[in-house]
Amino acid sequence: MSRRLSAISARTALPILAILLTMLVVTESAWSQSRFPPPEFESGYTQPTTTRPHGRAGWADYTDLAVLAGALVLASAATLWLRRRWVIVLISVASLGYFGFYKQGCICPIGAIQNVAMAVFSTDGYVIPLTVAGFFLLPLIAALFFGRSFCAAVCPLGITQDLLALKPLRVPTWLDRALSLLPWVYLGAAVLFAVTGSAMIICRYDPFVAIFRLVPLGKIFEGFARNDPELNPAALSGRLDLLILTASFLLVGVFIARPYCRYFCPYGALLGLMSRFALKRVRITPTECIQCKLCENSCPVNAIRTPTPQAGPKERLAGKGSLAVMLAILPVLIVGGGVLGGMLGTTMARMHATVQLADRVRLENSGAVKGTTDASEAFRATGESAESLYAQAAQIESRFTSLTKPFGVGIGGAHLFGAFVGLVVGLKLVGLSIRRRRNDYEPDDASCISCGRCFATCPMEQARRNGTKVTLNQKSESCPT
Amino acid sequence: MSKPDKKLTRRDLLRSGARGACVVGLGGMIGVLADHSDGQQMVWQIDPAKCNNCGKCATNCVLEISAVKCIHQYAMCGYCDLCTGYFTAQPSGLNTAAENLLCPTGAIKRTFVEDPYYQYTIDEELCIGCGLCCKGCNAFGNGSLFLQVRHDRCLNCNECSIAAACPTQAFKRVPANKPYLMKLAEDAE
């Protein structure tokens, strides 16, 4: 073979090499040129066709949607009617297997926020696949009727943390309330960056997805399905920053239950909003609360509100006063947030690759930095002018800083983001200044994630299951407080 | 498990009102999304017009072996004897000795067709998507070798981590029924 090769090469290599040398002189040009016209074969050779394997079939995506709907129904039934913690755990482990290790974390409703934002607001003409829209909507609808059963037993991220919450400590209420603002800020930022086409930060900084990809369940199943002898295992993404993020969330999650759900998850914020007005939500005691406080200690996420004493007329007046002040502050916070956000606009625009590239090229051209990056080299190879790149970058930056100019002042996405954060802080303050009277221990409307630990510990629930009747007398004996 | 007396309190009324507002809001959302949605799933693909074969595909995929592979569009190929996708730019001889070959994993098979033409076939089991051959073919040949996302392997991450690292922003979402961006339009599905 090699002798034949060299024999042919003697005849043919020289002219080809000559052409190649001229090609070396000519600059690298665009693709799909025929430097060497495709040959006309005489030996009856037929050209093979390039294979184009398809991905998952369309129906497989709808299967995912059906599994999601089924899991939501089961989880809601388990939290509201069946009221068995082990059933909730069973459903959640199954969901973790399917959405986590089999589907490897994509698509999930948390990330789908960005696709929805892109479809609704983006000017790039993004069309959202029906299944992704379904993944975003179904858990929200379920939350509006049955509370956050999605968080309890369907979300693979939540379940990972729930199973690892071995020694949950109590986060001080003031800290818990303050940190619970973060998911809204994260939501605003995720929408801003998605709509401007900059990045999908929810997916980029997903702390748990790496775990699902570590165990290549999906690939193994696919390998069996294709009868593929050599399985190509999926593996952990090698980015060190993400691995550190994963490890820290897991470690913190042992002592602070569900840290991502409570203080970061933007979808949890939306679910909490829906759950606040849910038709039916988890109740701790099936009959009558005996004020034993067992449930309060069982809740890993500080979501059980204790009874509040009847407010006197003086306290009521003070409460009304603080509510009035907070309502007055609200517009100030919104405007102030908007102004502050606008100041950050140019910085935030740097999340976009084109803006980054334009900055880099500008610095290189002015001689402020030495050397090039891959991106700036690739840009120079295209032969485009730097000015057109700057114009593109300025156009993207204007999405952040001046979309419209209502009063001669540019208002862009960054202003809206800032105003949104101001609104969220203001509404939180308003919410905190409203006193709500409670006689019994109740799960919080928004932050209860329906995990079912509270009713599993409730003595009244135990009594109901055993069929024993609890009389008032027994109550005072078992709970001297 | 409502209270024995079915009196409607102010709080209940507010809650029902807010729930109604949420239903209306979600309904509106469904309407807007239905207007902006499509039955097609979207998948990632490399635009060969933008790709510069930098090699980041091989290392940035979340899969251990990248979902991006080199593909060969035979209709564009010149079937060169001295293929600069197969041999290094300055081979010491036109033979399959290792020092002459470009592919780091030996994923390109060279078979004789007829004088003086050779067919080059990519063995996808071995290809790691480094793009060395594509770069060589683009620089001196017809550019019939180029990188594409292989959808039997791609996990279709919502944010593709190669796309985030791509220096030319060549990754884009394409509808799943036309998941490949071929260089020759007539060869496209």
Closest CA to B36 of A126, A192, A132, A138: A126
Q: Which of A24, A54, A64 to mutate to test the interface with B (most CBs of B within 10 A)?
A: A54
Pair of tokens at residue A455 = 């009713």
Smallest CA–CA distance from A9 into chain B, residue: B94
Can you give the pLDDT at residue A229?
A: 42
d(CA A185, CA A188): 5
Can you give the pLDDT at residue B123?
A: 94
Which uninterrupted H or E stretch holds A262? helix A259-263
pLDDT greater than 80 at residue B76: yes
Chain-chain contact of B143 with A32 (C-beta, under 8 angstroms): yes
Chain-chain contact of A203 with B159 (C-beta, under 8 angstroms): yes
B42 contacts on A by Cβ (under 8 Å): 127, 129
Chain-chain contact of B33 with A116 (C-beta, under 8 angstroms): yes
Chain-chain contact of B114 with A36 (C-beta, under 8 angstroms): no
Nearest CA of chain B to the CA of A214: how many Å?
Answer: 10
Interface membership of B24 toward A (CB under 8 Å): no
What count of other Cβ atoms lies within 10 Å of the Cβ of residue B118? Answer: 21
The B residues from 25 to 84 touching A (CB cutoff 8 Å) are 26, 29-30, 32-34, 36-43, 48-49, 52, 54, 56, 59, 62-65, 71-82, 84
DSSP SS3 for B174: strand
Nearest CA of chain A to the CA of B182: how many Å?
Answer: 10
Nearest CA of chain A to the CA of B25: how many Å?
Answer: 11
d(CA A435, CA A319): 7
Instruction: Give pLDDT tens digits for A105-127.
Output: 888 999 999 999 999 988 777 88
Q: Where are the domains of chain A?
A: 61-306+454-467, 313-433
What count of other Cβ atoms lies within 10 Å of the Cβ of residue A62? Answer: 15
Q: Is B85 exposed, middle or buried (0-12, 13-18, 19+ CB in 10 A)?
A: buried
Average pLDDT over residues B28-57: 91
d(CA A421, CA A269): 13
| Residue B185's pLDDT band (cuts 50, 70, 90) | low
DSSP SS3 for A264: coil
Can you give the pLDDT at residue A218?
A: 52
What count of other Cβ atoms lies within 10 Å of the Cβ of residue A364? Answer: 19
Count of residues in chain B: 189
Nearest CA of chain A to the CA of B39: how many Å?
Answer: 5
Can you give the pLDDT at residue A119?
A: 93
pLDDT greater than 50 at residue B1: no
Q: Which of B41, B46, B59, B161 to mutate to test the interface with A (most CBs of A within 10 A)?
A: B41
Global pTM value: 0.88
Q: How many Cβ pairs closer than 8 A exist between chain A and B?
A: 231
Which residue(s) pair with A443 in the sheet? A304
Chain-chain contact of A128 with B115 (C-beta, under 8 angstroms): no
* DSSP string over A51-116: P----S-HHHHHHHHHHHHHHHHHHHHIIIII--HHHHHHHHHHHIIIIIIITTT-S-HHHHHHHH
Chain-chain contact of A50 with B41 (C-beta, under 8 angstroms): no
A235 contacts on B by Cβ (under 8 Å): 62-64
Can you give the pLDDT at residue A181?
A: 96
* DSSP string over A318-360: HHHHHHHHHHHHHHHHHHHHHHHHHHTHHHHHTTSHHHHHHHH
d(CA A156, CA A215): 14
Smallest CA–CA distance from B113 into chain A, residue: A45
Contact status, residue B118 vs residue A9, Cβ threshold 8 Å: no
Can you give the pLDDT at residue B37?
A: 86
Under DSSP, the state recorded for A446 is T
d(CA A275, CA A143): 5
DSSP SS3 for A28: coil
Of B30, B78, B158, the CB nearest to A38: B78
* DSSP string over A269-326: HHHHHHHHT-SS---S-SS------HHHHH-TTS-EEPP-PPPPHHHHHHHHHHHHHH
Going residue by residue through chain A, which has 481 residues, state the pLDDT in tens, using 9 for 90 and above.
444 444 444 455 555 554 544 444 444 444 445 788 888 899 889 999 898 998 888 888 899 999 999 999 999 999 999 999 999 999 999 999 999 988 888 889 999 999 999 999 887 778 899 999 999 999 999 999 999 999 999 999 999 999 999 999 999 999 999 999 999 999 999 999 999 999 999 998 999 988 887 755 555 555 555 554 444 433 444 466 777 888 899 999 999 999 999 999 999 999 999 999 999 989 898 888 888 888 998 999 999 999 988 878 888 888 889 999 999 999 999 999 999 999 999 999 999 999 999 999 999 999 999 999 989 999 999 999 999 999 999 999 999 998 888 888 889 999 999 999 999 999 999 998 887 788 889 999 899 999 999 998 999 998 988 888 776 555 545 555 4
d(CA A206, CA A190): 12
SS3 content of chain B, % helix, strand, coil (to 5): 30, 20, 50
Chain-chain contact of A39 with B117 (C-beta, under 8 angstroms): yes
Nearest CA of chain A to the CA of B138: how many Å?
Answer: 7
Under DSSP, the state recorded for B76 is G
Contact status, residue B40 vs residue A129, Cβ threshold 8 Å: yes
d(CA B17, CA B10): 10
Q: At what angle do helices A413-433 and A386-401 cross, to 10 degrees?
A: 20
Of A20, A41, A130, the CB nearest to B113: A41
Closest CA to A415 of A319, A348, A323: A348
Contact status, residue A233 vs residue A421, Cβ threshold 8 Å: no
Tell me which of A25-34, A469-478, B31-40, B113-122 is least confident.
A25-34
What count of other Cβ atoms lies within 10 Å of the Cβ of residue A60? Answer: 11
Pair of tokens at residue A103 = 């589907």
Of A30, A32, A133, the CB nearest to B76: A32
Chain-chain contact of A127 with B42 (C-beta, under 8 angstroms): yes
Can you give the pLDDT at residue A472?
A: 56
Q: Where are the domains of chain B?
A: 42-187
